[in-house]
Amino acid sequence: MWLAPGTAGRVIVCERRGHWAVVLRRELKGADIPLRETRSLPECWDALAGHPTSFLVVELTPANAASLLERTARLERDYPFARIAVAAQRSLADWEWLVREAGAVHFTTSPRALQPLAAMIRRHLGRVRAPALPLAERLWRTLPWKGLKDEG
């Protein structure tokens, strides 16, 4: 398990109507994974700034395609511990390889086939966690008289 800087990750879903989030919640049921819905790319990236180890699921539309590709291409540089998957209507299936080339780890046009995406999300969030304690605090906790600090 590797340690990532920043706060604990979550799933951030960016879409206009909330359809993908509903289906994804069903797939992740019982996994105790926080899921936040956003309605625009700027709102999504604001949420990511607060949780830089998150897994993004962003809906591709003709209106947001250029901006999504640009942000996806910069994701690894700006948020190296985050991952992005793209969901789209079937009519946009031809975009898959362009989106993957930009950096998406998954592309789907089927809300009925989200098991692979849910597995990726579980795996990713299982690998990232909140930052470790500072070295001095970790050392203090290993000392046999560690309780004295709290009593004093």
Structure tokens at 40: 């625009």
Q: Domain coordinates of the chain in residue numbers?
A: 11-151
The second-level CATH assignment, the architecture, of 11-151 is 3-Layer(aba) Sandwich (3.40)
Beta strands in 15-72 (DSSP E): 35-38, 55-60
Q: Which residues pair with 14 in a beta bridge?
A: 38, 58
For the chain, 152 residues long, give each residue's pLDDT as a single digit of tens.
344 444 578 999 999 999 999 999 999 998 889 999 999 999 999 999 999 999 999 999 999 999 999 999 999 999 999 999 999 999 999 999 999 999 999 999 999 999 999 999 999 998 886 555 677 776 776 777 755 555 44
Closest CA to 24 of 125, 129, 128, 130: 125
Task: With beta carbons less than 8 A apart as the criterion, state whether 89 and 45 touch.
Answer: no
> Quick count: other Cβ atoms within 10 Å of Cβ 84?
25
DSSP state of 123: H
Furthest CA-CA distance within the chain: 67
Q: Which two tokens stand for residue 71?
A: 């942000």
Alpha helices in 54-142 (DSSP H): 65-78, 96-102, 115-127, 135-142
Q: What pTM was estimated for this model as a whole? A: 0.81
